[in-house]
């Protein structure tokens, strides 16, 4: 039997700490499609899926999102 764990949403401060990126670099990478997009949590709040950040951390140099061709 598999245990179901809920997906955690990480806020900006936590993402910056885990990745070692600065804020401007993180957003530039999102625009380039080389970092996972954030998701809107509420009207003025956004975060990143922990699994997406973990996937990026496995191989940040070759990470690419599917919508990078925008």
Tell which wins on pLDDT, 3 or 34.
34
- Does residue 70 register a pLDDT over 60? no
- The H-or-E segment that residue 23 falls in is helix 23-32
Considering all CA atoms of the chain, what is the largest pairwise distance in Å, rounded to the nearest integer?
43
Q: Where are the domains of the chain?
A: 12-60
Please, which pLDDT band fits residue 65 given cuts at 50, 70 and 90? confident
Q: Give the sheet arrangement for strand 45-49, strand by strand.
A: 9-10, 45-49, 39-42
What is the predicted pLDDT for the residue at 66? 74
Q: How many CA atoms lie within 13 A of 65 on its CB side?
A: 16
What is the predicted pLDDT for the residue at 3? 54
Q: What is the DSSP letter of 60?
A: G
The answer to whether the beta carbons of residues 14 and 48 sit under 8 Å apart is no
What is the predicted pLDDT for the residue at 67? 64
């Amino acid at each position: 039997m598999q245990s179901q764990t809920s997906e955690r949403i990480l806020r900006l401060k936590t993402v910056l700490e885990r990745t070692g990126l600065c804020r401007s670099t993180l957003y530039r990478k999102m625009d380039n499609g080389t970092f996972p997009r954030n998701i809107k949590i509420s009207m003025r709040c956004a975060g990143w899926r922990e699994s997406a950040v973990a996937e990026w951390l496995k191989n940040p140099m070759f990470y690419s999102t599917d919508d990078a061709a925008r």
